[in-house]
Structure 1
Amino acid sequence: MTRAILIVLDSVGCGGAEDAAAYGDEGADTLGHIAAACAEGRGDRAGLRSGPLSLPNLTRLGLSHACEASTGRPLAGVARPAVPQGQFGYGVEVSQGKDTPSGHWEIAGCPVPFKWGYFTALENSFPAEFVAAIIREGALPGILGNKHASGTAIIDELAEEHIRTGKPICYTSVDSVLQIAAHEEHFGLERLYELCRKVRVLVDPLRIGRVIARPFIGTAETGFTRTGNRKDFSIPPPDETILDRLAQQNRTIVTVGKIGDIFAHRNTGTEIKPYGNDAMFAAALEAFEMLPDGGFCFVNLVDFDTEYGHRRDIPGYAAALEAFDRQLPTLEARLRAGDLAIITADHGNDPSWPGTDHTREHVPILAFEPDVAAGPIGRRESFADIAAKLGTWLGIGAVGPGRSW
């Protein structure tokens, strides 16, 4: 029997989405623009990194070829082999949106059949009756924020008032999301989670994808810092995913990072949620090492998105990509006969783009295993092709509307 590991590099898009203009993202290209910036010296930061983007292991598996297939351009300044050692291609999202849940659900075989709801007003984003319901259900003295904002900026702006008044900080963005920030000690972590559960019920009729708890710590003197205790409260997928099919057949499932949150903890098996890409990758390696035959490990590495994409930090994003690339051989060394590893992404978040939000892009797909010949898999007309491939590989049948390669 076989095993499989799926790693989602959160937001590492490869440009080229044909409908990007409808999202205000025509021309966005996360990997392409990072590589170009590094080649031009705009990706340098003293003490962090310098020079052209260096991804020898990912390009060996076919990353630059996948990007070139998507956009018509190779990654600037990135050396690429004539013949990649992995299977490589790119995926096109059919779900409407450019958010984390729809990208992951489609990867897992469940494209989103509906339009998400959004809070579109930049100021006073939440309707008055909705704010009143939050205050009532949460037994709150009120809320702060109520606007589109960067999570770190709004905490810096309102943390002191939050501590003084006990009012949580509520904000949103162009994504289908409502985020609630509160101090872990002054407000309480469990109280924040309970508030988010209540708000999750309130936003269900609005089809808001996620309510996100954003705890932080600190003081005005030391500064305020978000912690690793973020928790997402998501709508559950509307149809079967590969996780559901595997659970039906009593297969071992391990999910690492925020996968449990994204899938509303439905058939997400053993959930492991360390903080930071390095810790999550190490946890994934350990879990995969112990995975029995027929098992599946599903991993999200979120730092690319939250720490660098949304903050429009090109050097930081480039350094995170290079750090992952250096770690990749440790995964390859642990693959045994019958194993399958797939690396992909869920959307883009071009750090060179205006604003602070996700970008509508294709995503790279790299697949590698000891026993299957390398080569192009071409353009995949849905992220769901990944679930179809995994289902076929694991012997549970293709899951969802995708087509295996």
Structure 2
Amino acid sequence: MSRAFILLLDSFGLGATPDAAKYGDAGANTFGHIASTVAKSGKTLTLPTMERLGLGAAAHLASGEWATGFEQRDGFTGAYGAARERSTGKDTQSGHWEIAGVPVEFDWGYFPRTTPSFPQDLTDKLKAISGVPGFLGDCHASGTDIINKHGDEHVATGKLIIYTSGDSVMQIAAHEASFGLERLYDVCEMAFKLVEPYNIGRVIARPFTGSNGSYTRTSNRHDYAVPPPAPTLLDHVKNAGGEVVGLGKISDIFATQGISRVVKGVDNMALFDALLKTADEVGDKSLTFVNFVDFDQAYGHRRNTEGYADALREMDARLPEFMAKLKPGDLVVITADHGCDPTWHGSDHTREHIPMIFFGPGVAPRALGISESFSDIGQTLAHHLGVAPLANGVNVL
């Protein structure tokens, strides 16, 4: 039996890439800075399961430095390395698509770091066709912050909260009860058609609940996304008769292309529970792809270093549960899609190496070095599953 699992820790970068200065990210290091910041507070970031697999050594390959508190130098149980992005930018879609064998060879459109961020013509057209009374925010922002800032006025007036980030994205937030979830989805579909001339990758519906300045985003997020421009690993697996299970926002990122089954979860641990259940269900030649989004949206963008550290500890503590479900022929990779250094300026992603840590019953522990494309991950999994090779990447195992 051959099964494959991608465990993507959204935004878990291992240090700036050689071209990071072009993005204003020279010196960024999500993992390294979390470890050193936690140490300065008198604590230690201990991730024993991932350290044994080779996380610390992979980070050393990427940054040239050993993360504070990570002392293991040999005896690793995984095949570990790091990868640099060939795609331009540091977007969610670009990172995921490149992992799946399709680097983004074009430039996305982005909304400027101004207030307002969105062109007047765009918001005028959206207001006219949607019938909403207006918009709040209209800037680069952290989603949780802007919802709490404008939530009361939104509920009172019906004006939508709109914002963007360093991604090629327009995000639209609304209260599930006062505005309505289906109505929010309808507006986002309208917006997705309107942003096409701007070459924007996604429009994200960001529903929330709560009252009186205390609001919480729900799991009913939905991304309206441009599909990958070429067949990905997901398509290759599905076309070969294998099941492709997308956990979390994977289906949205790939615009449902190549997905057999969608599983949602409200947070990292709900998704981990779903991963355990999926591992019991999927069969030969299956691909399970899970995005643990809290690292990015709840901690990276919010520049919450301690929260990010706690989430890493929580993930590491539960990994043995998943490992116990692995069968002969299973191959797992722990990776990321970009960085989001919580100690960095602003609230956007950072251009960093990503981890490339393979493990499973038949994986021989060794150092893999640094790959020049995220697509080496997808090509390795395609080879393992015996499906058609991808157009990009090399098998590193």
**What TM-score do you get using the length of structure 1 for normalisation?**
0.96
- Pair 1:302-2:296 in alignment: no
Q: For 1:80, give the aligned amino acid.
A: Q
Residues 101 and 209, structure 1, Cα contact 8 Å, conserved in 2: yes
Query: Which residue in 1 is equivalent to 2:166?
Result: 174
Distance 2:18 2:73 in 1: 28
Distance 1:114 1:313 in 2: 32
Residues 84 and 375, structure 1, Cα contact 8 Å, conserved in 2: yes
- Pair 1:129-2:121 in alignment: yes
Q: For 2:21, give the aligned amino acid.
A: A
- SS of 1:260's partner is helix
Alignment of 1:199-210 (within 5 A): 199-210=191-202
Q: For 1:36, give the aligned amino acid.
A: S
Residues 60 and 81, structure 1, Cα contact 8 Å, conserved in 2: no
- SS of 2:368's partner is strand
CA RMSD of aligned residues (A): 1.2
Distance 1:397 1:385 in 2: 14
Q: For 1:389, give the aligned amino acid.
A: T
Pairwise CA distance, 1:397:
3.0
- Pair 1:142-2:134 in alignment: yes
Query: Which residue in 1 is equivalent to 2:373?
Result: 382
Q: For 1:298, give the aligned amino acid.
A: F
Residues 79 and 365, structure 2, Cα contact 8 Å, conserved in 1: yes
Q: For 1:24, give the aligned amino acid.
A: G
Residues 52 and 78, structure 1, Cα contact 8 Å, conserved in 2: no
Query: Which residue in 1 is equivalent to 2:112?
Result: 120
Query: Which residue in 1 is equivalent to 2:9?
Result: 9
- Pair 1:319-2:296 in alignment: no
Q: Pick the aligned partner of 1:244 from 227, 232, 235.
A: 235
Q: Pick the aligned partner of 2:264 from 248, 273, 292.
A: 273
Pairwise CA distance, 1:140:
1.8
- Pair 1:293-2:318 in alignment: no
Q: Pick the aligned partner of 1:343 from 314, 327, 334.
A: 334
Distance 1:108 1:267 in 2: 11
Query: Which residue in 1 is equivalent to 2:19?
Result: 19
Query: Which residue in 1 is equivalent to 2:395?
Result: 404
Pairwise CA distance, 1:175:
2.0
Query: Which residue in 2 is equivalent to 1:365?
Result: 356
Runs of 4+ in 1 over 6 A off after TM superposition: none
Residues 331 and 363, structure 2, Cα contact 8 Å, conserved in 1: no
Pairwise CA distance, 1:81:
4.5
Residues 299 and 308, structure 2, Cα contact 8 Å, conserved in 1: yes
Pairwise CA distance, 1:398:
2.2
Distance 1:337 1:153 in 2: 46
Residues 58 and 355, structure 2, Cα contact 8 Å, conserved in 1: yes
Distance 2:241 2:197 in 1: 33
Distance 1:208 1:164 in 2: 30
Query: Which residue in 1 is equivalent to 2:47?
Result: 55
Residues 6 and 334, structure 2, Cα contact 8 Å, conserved in 1: yes
Q: For 2:46, give the aligned amino acid.
A: S
Residues 398 and 404, structure 1, Cα contact 8 Å, conserved in 2: no
Distance 1:109 1:98 in 2: 16
- SS of 2:324's partner is helix
- Pair 1:257-2:248 in alignment: yes
Residues 243 and 286, structure 2, Cα contact 8 Å, conserved in 1: yes
- Cα distance per residue 1:25-48 (max 9 Å; x no partner): 11000000011112221xx6xxxx
Identity %: 48
Q: Please say which of residues 225-234 and 110-119 is displaced more in the overlay.
A: 225-234
Q: Please say which of residues 138-147 and 208-217 is displaced more in the overlay.
A: 138-147
Residues 217 and 225, structure 1, Cα contact 8 Å, conserved in 2: yes
Q: For 2:147, give the aligned amino acid.
A: I
- SS of 2:195's partner is helix
Residues 34 and 342, structure 2, Cα contact 8 Å, conserved in 1: yes
Q: Please say which of residues 378-387 and 117-126 is displaced more in the overlay.
A: 117-126
Q: For 1:349, give the aligned amino acid.
A: C
Q: Pick the aligned partner of 2:93 from 78, 101, 107.
A: 101
Distance 1:373 1:164 in 2: 60
Q: For 2:68, give the aligned amino acid.
A: A
- Pair 1:86-2:78 in alignment: yes
Q: Pick the aligned partner of 1:159 from 151, 154, 158.
A: 151
Distance 2:113 2:11 in 1: 25
- SS of 1:334's partner is coil
Distance 1:121 1:108 in 2: 30
Residues 203 and 224, structure 2, Cα contact 8 Å, conserved in 1: yes
Residues 232 and 258, structure 2, Cα contact 8 Å, conserved in 1: no
